[in-house]
Structure 1
Amino acid sequence: MRVGIAAGYWGSGPPRNVERMLAEAEALGVDSFWTAETYGSDALTPLAWWGAQTSRIKLGTSVCQMSARTPTALAMAAQTLDHLSGGRVIIGIGASGPQVVEGWYGQPYPRPLERTREYIEIMRQVWAREEPVTYSGRHYQLPLQGGSGLGKPLKSIVHPLRDDVPVYMGAEGPKNVALAAEIADGWTPLWFSPKSDEFYRTALAEGFSREGARRTADDFEVANVCWLLENDDVEKAAARLKPTVALYAGGMGAKGANFHNDVFARMGWGEVCAEIQELYLSGRPELAAQAVPTEMVEDVALVGPADKIIEEIETKWKSTCLTTLILGGWPKPENRARILEAVQS
């Protein structure tokens, strides 16, 4: 298993000490560095800014919101950054949910799987640069249908450094995970738990079995952000993540339209998730966080003393379908080498 690190998306401002963490990570042989976006900081600017200070580590987005950019715009950004980094870019994309897509980006959300397929097909046309890009889909048309009538097919001026930049899909539900296995180069889960490994392996196998599938289980990547919070007191470590779990399970979306809630429910936390959601949506996020059991945090994150974290990596996480464990937290200096070795050995 490879190891990555994540700087995530920002809270009220940029995270501190990313430059130092990234320099240490590259020196220690960490494989990849990842940024993200929701409706605040974007994923590409921090990746380019911090990535410019590196020479080897892969640079990934986990994820870029599809609704934030047209397929050609993201393809342009990807090939630009790929040139500047010497071919180190991984473009992770995601459909997000209707609250963000329609509320923040002002774009329609319906039929996200179909939209994802069209999006990736257009990006790959741009990078292949075999002919001017044309596309006639339900969601995207190039040239635009019903416009001025003056649009014309165009070919990228830039010759991509790589004609096939790796594309990973952010996905949580079984249909979307299967789609990732069918058409993408990798999958980036959210709130992955080792106890759900068989469920996801089944969904991936469905995608690999489809006619024309791009990859097989042997050359498909699964890169998951796993929060890492060290503290000799497990409860104190878990408490730091409970507000975030409550936000996703309770506040990210409406009742019946919260995909993160569904993920935790599949782990067996359905009744707890219903309580968390009720508290969060009624304007009581602090109580929602208090309703998150420590065991629920432990299902999806590495929390507690270093010895416990290392044991769980070796006995739970390394036997899953994951190929890269992206640490959402930088281990303490005195434990760093041991924790990284536990993932990589």
Structure 2
Amino acid sequence: MNRIVIARTDSIGDVMLTIPMAGILKAKYPETELIFIGKSYTEAVIKCCKNVDQFMNWDILEKDPHAVQELKLLNADLIVFSLPNIKLAKLAWQANIKNRVGVSRRWFHWVFCNDRPQFSRRKSDLHEAQLNIKLLEKWIPSTNFTLEEIASSYGFSPTIPLPERFSNLLKKDSLNIILHPKSQGSAREWGVKNFQQFANLAVEKGVKIFVTGTESEGQQIRKNFRFSDSIIDLTGKMNLHELIAFINATNGLVAASTGPLHLSAALGKIAIGLYSTLRPIHPGRWAPLGPKAKAITYEGPIDSNLKIKDDTTLELIPPDRVLREFF
């Protein structure tokens, strides 16, 4: 097999849980060229994966009147739709990519795909990364990978050295911990108050804290968060390449179920994820994968009729409970 395409056109966290597919396919087909189609926002992430040989920007391809020809020029033997995308599936069909893999539960895959694995993500007890690998059932000897095996397939590392203006902020001979309080609405959140309490407790133990996020998230955080010489505001100050390099230079990160959490896990750092226990957003489906990654949930009683939109139990996780994971 000469060229394989993986397509995942959504957010950082979802892409991170798809990247191990590249390592697994490379292990089976070491000579193949692996191409990843993703959005502009995730390009920096995908380029950190040593198992991906080429990135194709979906935001550009989607608007390209010659998109079919561009896909034909790839001369790909196989394309795998980790995320169903009707427009891209149609383009791949029009480009006559020989093998087109998409889950059977999307009607348009019956039109545009010729390999349609049958499984339900909604009803499954498997992790999202394991579900992604189920798409490869025809192409690898077994799709039964443990979470530890998947974590070892990331092949993930920074592509740039950490700029000096950030490395100079790190505290020598002490823990440096990143807090990423917001999730751009993609997950239930722990709350700025809990992150503040965590930061205060950590500083008492000599830890240096860094708060990350976009500038718009920073504007929200700064309304209710106190910074100091030991609690540094880095919101809006880094691009994604720099954030990845910075995470790699620290000891770990605390966040809800969001992209930077999965970046930290893939880099082998302490990655503490704060999760709801409710399906389908529970850690069984979305936990970070890595040798030092851990998901924490509220351990008290929960109303069996609780709906996701009303779930605030994550905010009841004590900050000192989370801090203990670093000591």
TM-score by length of 2: 0.30
Q: Which has the higher contact order (CA 8 A, sep 6+)?
A: 1
Determine which structure has the larger helix proportion and give its number: 1
TM-score by length of 1: 0.29
